[in-house]
């Protein structure tokens, strides 16, 4: 029985560890931010200018969709209000965004920024200086 348990634990480790390593290796840095999640089919790239303004380069098939942003100083909690007093900042759909250009910019001092499209998290940025894998 002990041999079977060791076998199953070893087999489980062989499946889990490579996935964890791949996730860690896949992290990307954009200026002072690390992408915790980035759906590459939708968000082609992220750019942060010298003043900290964050821009997105969206795939042309998704550029006309609404994007909902949330920001906080804590990982997936403690959401703060944006400049308009709302917890969610909405980048409206059908704005005539040019293809292959950085758009949907935002300024924030938050440690974490979440971007949603069609209810799905498409980008989650964290200030590299405050986020550790345990957060």
Domains of the chain: 28-127 (2.60.40)
pTM confidence score: 0.76
Looking up tokens 């390593």 gives 21
**Is the confidence at residue 32, as pLDDT, over 60?**
yes
Instruction: Please name the residues in contact with 9: beta carbons below 8 A apart, sequence gap of 6 or more.
Output: none
In this predicted structure, what is the pLDDT of residue 104? 81
**Is the confidence at residue 130, as pLDDT, over 50?**
yes
In angstroms, the Cα distances linking 110 to 96, 121, 130 are 28, 17, 11
């Amino acid at each position: 029985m002990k041999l079977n348990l060791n076998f199953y634990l070893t087999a489980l480790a062989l499946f889990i560890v490579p996935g964890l390593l791949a996730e860690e290796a896949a992290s990307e840095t954009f200026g002072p931010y690390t992408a915790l999640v980035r759906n590459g089919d939708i968000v082609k790239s992220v750019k942060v200018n010298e003043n900290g303004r964050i821009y997105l380069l969206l795939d042309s098939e998704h550029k006309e969709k609404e994007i909902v942003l949330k920001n906080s100083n804590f990982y997936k909690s403690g959401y703060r209000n944006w400049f308009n007093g709302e917890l969610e900042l909405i980048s409206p759909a059908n704005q005539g965004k040019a293809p292959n250009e950085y758009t949907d910019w935002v300024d924030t001092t938050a440690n974490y920024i979440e971007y949603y499209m069609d209810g799905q998290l498409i980008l989650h940025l964290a200030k590299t200086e405050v986020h550790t894998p345990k957060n």
